[in-house]
Structure 1
C-alpha cells in the first residue's frame, strides 16, 4: 500500500496574490493499493468517480510517464475543509501525482511533479508549497513554471474557519480589472518586505506588510467576520490575511501569546472553528505500508 501525506496550504499570503503560498502542518492522507475494480472511499458520493482530483492527478501522471492507468482502491483521510482557502484541491492533485510516481517506482523529480500539478490546477501558488514545503514564490514563464522556496522562521499561526465556503470562481468575480499605478508600487514594496520578514523573523515589520491592494479589499466583503477580526489583529499588531480566496483567515506570529489572545477573542466574540498551525518545513511525502 502507498500512503501519501500532503500539507494544507495558504495561498496569496495577503500581498502575494497568485504568486505566494505556504505549506501548513495540517496534512491530508491518501491510501492507494491495487484492486480488481476502481474504488474510492472517504469522500462524498459525487466525488467517487474518475473526476475525483486525486484520480485526475494520478491519470495525468500516468499519461506523462506513458504508462497504463492501473485499477486501484483509493482511501481519503482528511479534515482539511473544502472551498475554504486551504488548498484542499491541491492536496488531492499532488497526492495523485506522487502516488502514480511511487506506483511506477519513482521516475519523476519534484519540478516535473509541479509542472503536472500546475497544468491541472491552472496556477502553481498552492501546489508548489504542497510539494516542496515552506513558503514558495512562483510564476509562469512562457508556459514553464518558475519557483523559489523561501526559508521561513518558526512562525506559528491560527487558522480561523467560517462555517461557509467561498468558491474560487466566485471570489475572482469581485476583483477589479485594473488598479492605480501608485497602489501597484506600494504592493511591490509590501510583498518584498513580507518575504523578507518570513525569512528574517522581523516581527516589527511583518504585520505592517499585510496591506493588500489586489484582492483582499474586494474579497473581504464576502467574509462577514473579516472586518472585526482584521481590526482586532491590527489592535494587537498581529499579521493576518485571507487564506487563498477564503473563507478561512490566517494570523501568524512568532509570538504565541498574541495568537492565544486572538483565539480567546474568537471563542468569545465569533464562535467560529479554528486550528493552530505552523509553517511546514516538509512538503508532500510518501510512506509505504
Structure 2
C-alpha cells in the first residue's frame, strides 16, 4: 500500500501571479493499492473514473516512463476544499505523479515532478509548493520548469473561505491584457521584496510589498467581502491576499495574536465564512509505505 500526502497551497501570493506559491499544513491523503481493476473511492461518484485528475497524472507518468498503466484501488481522503483557491486540483495531480513514482520505484527527482505536474496544470504556482513545500518561485524555461524554494517558517495564517465559488475562467477574463510600464516596474520590485521579507520574517516589508497590479485589483470585485477584510488587516499592519483565483482569502502574520484577533473579528462579522488556522508546510508531498 502506498500513501501519498499533499499539502494545500496558496497561489499567486498577491504579487506573484502564476509563479509564486506557498504550501500550507492542510492536506489531502491518497492511498494506492493493487487491484484487479481500477477502483476509486472517497470522492464524488462523478470523479470515480479515468478522468479523475489523480488517474490522469498517474497515466502521464506511465507515458513518461514508457510503462503500462496498472490497475489499482485509489482511496481519497480530501481535507482541502474543492474549488476554493487552495490547490485542491493541483493536489490530485501531484498525488498521481508521486503515487506513480512510488509504484514503479522510478526515483523521479522533484524538479521533474514539478515539470510533469505543470504540463498538466498549465502553470506552476500551485503544483510547485505542493511538491517542494515552503514557498517557491517557478517558471517555464524551454521544456522544463525552473523552481526556487524560499525557506520560510514562523508565520501564522488564516484562510477565509466564503460559501460560494469563483469560476477560474471568469476570474481570468476580468484581468486586462497589459499594464503600464511604471506599474510593471513596481510589480517586479514588490515581488522581489516580498520573497525576501517572507524569508526574513520582516512583516513591515512584507506588508509594503503586498500591492499588486496584475490581478487583485480586478478579481477583488468577484469577492464581496474582500475590501472590508483587506481594510481590517492593513489597518493593523499585516497582509492578506486572494488565494489563487479566489474566493478564499489568506492573511499571515508573525504575530499569532493578529491572526487570533482576525479570526474573532471574522466570526463576529462574517459567520458564514469558514476560517482555518494554518502554518507553512515545510516538506511538500510525502509518501508512506505499508
TM-score tier by shorter-chain length is over 0.9
Partner of 1:273: 274
Deviations 1:250-278 (A, max 9, x none): 00011000101100110000111010001
Partner of 1:82: 82
Corresponding residue SS for 2:24: strand
Partner of 2:246: 246
Counterparts of 2:41 and 2:106 in 1: how far apart (Å)? 25
Counterparts of 2:2 and 2:142 in 1: how far apart (Å)? 35
Partner of 1:288: 289
Contact 2:111 2:146 (8 Å CA) reproduced = no
Corresponding residue SS for 1:204: helix
Partner of 1:28: 28
Structure 2: gaps of 5 or more residues: none
Contact 1:241 1:251 (8 Å CA) reproduced = yes
Alignment of 1:58-77 (within 5 A): 58-77=58-77
Deviations 1:16-74 (A, max 9, x none): 11110010011110001011111111111111111100000111001111111111111
How well do the aligned residues superpose, as a CA RMSD in angstroms? 0.9
Counterparts of 2:114 and 2:79 in 1: how far apart (Å)? 24
Partner of 1:196: 196
Stretches of 4+ aligned residues off by more than 4 angstroms: none
Contact 1:82 1:165 (8 Å CA) reproduced = no
Partner of 2:110: 110
Deviations 1:85-123 (A, max 9, x none): 100011000000011111111331111111111110011
* Cα displacement (A) at 1:78: 1.0
Contact 1:30 1:76 (8 Å CA) reproduced = yes
Contact 1:3 1:30 (8 Å CA) reproduced = yes
Partner of 2:139: 139
Partner of 2:170: 170
Number of aligned positions between the proteins:
289
Deviations 1:189-245 (A, max 9, x none): 111111011111112221121111100000011011101100111111111000011
Partner of 1:44: 44
Structure 1: gaps of 5 or more residues: none
